């Protein structure tokens, strides 16, 4: 096993929506965490071991995405591959904390589960939804949201791919206006809450209490927060950010820009799917980006890293 230095490589962790069929089965490093999830979270988590994801609730999907991300990170690390920076998209920020050794993987599991629970309860108190807006400038979309109220831009994925969230009425009104002003598409996401908006405020207090009970260590590599699109090394501030993220937009595009401006041009999407790979590949054409969602991916990266640049996936 080589102890490969991955200087200049950022690991990015996807959030809900990136799940793929069988994402946990090709990842042996995820199995111990999966076992612990079933033990800690009780009988409902038993479904995580079933191949049919249609039976999974949102809480379980989020847990599975986390396990897949943290497991894939373990698969890389166990082969001597380590990141120089980490960033995450929405719940992927918790996986990033684990990859940066800020929190223990089991604490990460608890954070994801409690975060999902708190957001579901908040969603009952203040219902809403989310929708992707394709092909309209972020300032225009933000202006539309502001003029309508109770709807916000919540994901800055790329300059022409945003996500808005808010109350049902406001979301539909914003969708209508976005299309009238030239958006190519506005598509509803199957997320039953208005995540990353002030409507999630009821989740903040209970999640903050859980976060307070978890030990956060200084990161072992540069940890980027998508709340501020900037690195953060202070455990107390990291705690604050992970709580604030519930009601704050995911500035993924701006965060990736920060990573690149620090001199890093190589990205690995660690976890299921290729959503972030596609975003980075299309937006930042001078970067290399690949995915690590399985044992074989980790093996390939460990073997390739010392020999040649990562495959460019567009």
Partner 1 sequence: MSQTMADPAVAEMVTTRDHMLSEAATIDERIVVAPCEGRFRFLPAEHFTAEGEYVIEGQVIGVVVSTNGKEVDVVTPFSGWVMDFMIKDGWPVVPSEPILWLRPL
Exactly one of 192, 206, 240, 260 binds partner 1 (CB under 8 A); which one? 192
For 165, the enclosing helix (H) or strand (E) is: strand 161-166
Q: Which of 18, 84, 167, 196 is catalytic?
A: 196
SS3 89: coil
**DSSP alpha helices (H): ranges in 78-137?**
92-99, 105-125
Choice among 18, 90, 170, 258 that is catalytic: 90
Q: Among residue numbers 91 through 120, which ones bind partner 1 (CB under 8 A)?
A: 120
Q: Which two three-digit tokens encode residue 116?
A: 């999902």
Nearest to 108 by CA among 116, 97, 117: 97
- In DSSP terms, which residues pair with 291 in a beta bridge? 269
Q: Which is nearer to partner 1, 106 or 132 (CB)?
A: 132
Measured distance CA(132)–CA(153) in Å, rounded: 10
- State the minimum distance, in angstroms, from the CB of residue 304 to partner 1: 29
For position 54 contacting partner 1 by CB under 8 A, the verdict is yes
CB of 15 to partner 1, least distance (A): 10
Contacts with partner 1: how many residues (CB under 8 A)? Answer: 31
Q: Is 180 in the site for partner 1 (CB under 8 A)?
A: yes
Q: Is 123 in the site for partner 1 (CB under 8 A)?
A: yes
Contact 165, 196 (CB under 8 A): yes
**Closest C-alpha to 132, from 190, 200, 189, 179:** 189
CB contact at 8 A, 30 and 70: yes
CB nearer to partner 1: give 127 or 309: 127
- Which residue in the set 106, 142, 172, 260 belongs to the binding site for partner 1 (CB under 8 A)? 172
Instruction: Report d(CA 272, CA 162) in Å as an integer.
Output: 21
Separation between Cα atoms, residue 301 and residue 134, nearest integer Å: 32
Of 98, 175, 214, 302, which lies in the binding site for partner 1, with binding defined by CB under 8 A?
175
Is residue 58 a contact residue for partner 1 (CB under 8 A)?
yes
Q: How far is the CB of 175 from partner 1 (least distance, A)?
A: 4
Is 89 designated active site? no
If binding is defined by CB under 8 A, does position 52 make contact with partner 1?
A: no
Stretch that binds partner 1, among 68-76, 174-182, 194-202, 243-251 (CB under 8 A): 174-182
Binding to partner 1 by residue 186, rule CB under 8 A?
Answer: yes
> Would you say 25 and 283 are in contact if contact means Cβ atoms under 8 Å apart?
no
Q: Long-range contact list for 229-233, CB < 8 A, 24+ apart?
A: 229/254, 229/255, 229/257, 229/258, 230/255, 230/258, 231/85, 231/258, 231/262
Told to judge if 217 belongs to the known catalytic residues of this protein, a careful annotator would answer no
Tokens coding 212: 């307070």
Closer Cβ to partner 1, 231 or 272, answer by number: 272
Q: What radius of gyration do the chain's Cα atoms show?
A: 19
Residues in touch with partner 1 (CB under 8 A): 17, 19, 53-54, 56-58, 61, 120, 123-124, 127, 131-132, 163, 169, 172-173, 175-176, 179-180, 184-190, 192, 275
Active-site residue list: 90, 196
């Amino acid at each position: 096993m080589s102890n490969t230095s991955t200087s200049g490589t950022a690991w990015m962790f996807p959030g809900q929506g990136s799940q793929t069929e069988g994402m946990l089965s090709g990842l042996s490093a995820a199995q111990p965490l999966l076992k612990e999830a079933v033990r800690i979270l009780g009988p409902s988590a038993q479904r995580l071991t079933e191949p049919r994801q249609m039976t999974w609730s949102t809480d379980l999907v989020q847990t599975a995405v986390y396990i897949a991300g943290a497991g894939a990170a373990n698969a890389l690390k166990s082969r001597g591959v380590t990141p120089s920076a980490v960033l995450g998209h929405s719940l992927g920020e918790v996986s990033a904390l684990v990859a940066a050794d800020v929190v223990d993987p089991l604490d990460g599991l608890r954070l994801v589960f409690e975060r999902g629970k708190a957001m579901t309860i908040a969603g009952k108190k203040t219902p809403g939804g989310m929708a992707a807006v394709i092909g309209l400038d972020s300032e225009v979309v933000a202006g539309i949201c502001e003029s309508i109220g109770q709807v916000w831009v919540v994901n800055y994925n790329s300059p022409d791919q945003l996500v808005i969230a808010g109350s049902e009425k406001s979301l539909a009104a914003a969708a209508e206006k976005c299309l009238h002003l030239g958006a190519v598409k506005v598509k509803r996401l199957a997320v039953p809450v208005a995540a990353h908006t002030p409507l999630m405020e009821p989740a903040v207090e209970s999640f903050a209490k859980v976060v307070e009970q978890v030990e956060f260590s200084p990161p072992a590599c540069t940890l980027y927060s998508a709340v501020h699109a900037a690195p953060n090394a202070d455990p107390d501030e990291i705690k604050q950010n992970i709580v604030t993220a519930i009601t704050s937009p995911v500035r993924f595009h701006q965060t990736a820009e920060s990573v690149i401006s620090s001199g890093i041009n190589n990205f690995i999407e660690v976890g299921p799917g290729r959503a972030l790979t596609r975003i980075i590949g299309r937006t930042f054409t001078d970067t290399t980006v690949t995915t690590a969602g399985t044992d074989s991916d980790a093996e390939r990266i460990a073997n390739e890293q010392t020999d040649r640049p990562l495959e460019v996936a567009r």
